[in-house]
């Protein structure tokens, strides 16, 4: 098998892994709808994943704060999500 074919095979395998990412509802502990249309999943093992508004897996830098549609704020932090409402001063209240 040529190197090119191997690379293609590896790519399609990882695509497959990605496509099952959101489907495994049994492993999802919590799900947040983000205001921009993306979705953050917290899995039962504590890991997190993010899906953009088109349903594609998305990555995000650590420390980025996202606001959910219902106004909660969560932060990307390694494999954990920190709910930053409690950590930040109440400067967002009252709008
Ligand atoms: Cu995110």
Distance 75 CA to ligand 1 centre (A): 7
Tell me the mean pLDDT in the region 58-79.
85
**pTM (predicted TM-score):** 0.61
Residues 7-20, buried b or exposed e (16+ Cβ, 10 A)? eeeeeeeeeeeeee
Distance 79 CA to ligand 1 centre (A): 11
Q: What pLDDT score does 33 carry?
A: 94
Spans of all domains in the chain? 3-86
CATH number for the domain running over 3-86: 2.40.10.300
Contact (Cβ atoms closer than 8 angstroms) between residue 35 and residue 69: yes
Q: What pLDDT score does 86 carry?
A: 60
More confident residue, 2 or 41: 41
Q: What pLDDT score does 95 carry?
A: 42
Query: Does residue 49 sit in helix, strand or coil?
Result: strand
**How far is the CA of 44 from the CAs of 25, 27, 74, 92, in angstroms?**
10, 6, 17, 30
Distance 34 CA to ligand 1 centre (A): 8
pLDDT digits (tens, 9 = 90+) for 11-65: 555 444 444 454 467 888 889 999 999 999 888 887 788 898 998 888 888 888 9
Distance 66 CA to ligand 1 centre (A): 6
Contact (Cβ atoms closer than 8 angstroms) between residue 83 and residue 91: no
Distance 7 CA to ligand 1 centre (A): 29
Q: Is residue 89 within a helix (H) or strand (E), and if so which, with residue range? A: none
């Amino acid at each position: 098998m040529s190197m090119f074919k191997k690379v293609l095979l590896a790519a399609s395998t990882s695509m497959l892994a990605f496509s099952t990412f959101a489907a495994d509802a049994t492993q999802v502990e919590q799900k947040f709808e983000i205001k921009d249309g993306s979705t953050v999943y917290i899995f039962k093992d504590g890991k997190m994943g993010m899906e953009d508004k088109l349903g594609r897996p998305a990555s995000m830098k650590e420390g980025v704060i996202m606001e959910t549609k219902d106004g909660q704020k969560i932060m990307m932090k390694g494999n954990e999500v920190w709910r930053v409402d409690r950590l930040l001063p109440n400067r967002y209240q009252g709008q």
